[in-house]
Amino acid sequence: MVAIASETSLIGTWKLLSRVDLTSDGQRQTEPNLGSDPVSYLMYDASGHFAVQFMRRDRRDANGGYDAYFGKYSVADGVVTQELEGALLPESVGKVVRRQFHIDGGELVITLDATTSDGEPVTRTLRWTRLA
């Protein structure tokens, strides 16, 4: 059952179940930095702050295979807007990103337009389960 998305429905700690990138013709792409099955936690608090960390499951060294960012968030009409106050990648600091989301059977589903490392557009779908 898909529930209406609200700010209060986001509050909590979420663990990533899956991260899938699909091309416009439905082909699955693997993002090379994080791999096909990264480990991730996402947290939204009641004061309007969020933090997320992604790590490649088979990460072997300190270079690559990790992404993290945090900041403020707001919700309107099934879209979460995130203002990045800090990020692993310096060029991401200050970015404002918008992601569609809904709750489906107790899972948080976030979708966004992204690009592969070689510039091909993909639709990214992230499925999360609530931990707290």
Answer whether 44's CB lies under 8 Å from 130's CB: no
Distance CA 47, CA 60 (A): 36
What digits encode the pLDDT tens for the residues 101-120? 999 888 999 999 999 878 89
Tracing tokens 């948080």 back to the chain, one arrives at 108
Bridge partners, 69 (sequence order):
52, 87
CATH of domain 2-130: 2.40.128.280
Distance of alpha carbon 35 from alpha carbon 14, whole angstroms: 19
Q: Give dist(CA 74, CA 40) in Å, integer.
A: 21
pLDDT score of 1 more than 60: no
| Domain positions in the chain | 2-130
- 20 close to 29: Cβ distance less than 8 angstroms: no
> From its phi and psi, is residue 35 left (phi > 0), alpha (psi between -120 and 50) or beta?
left
Q: What is the pTM of this model?
A: 0.91
pLDDT by residue (tens digit) across 16-28? 999 999 999 999 9
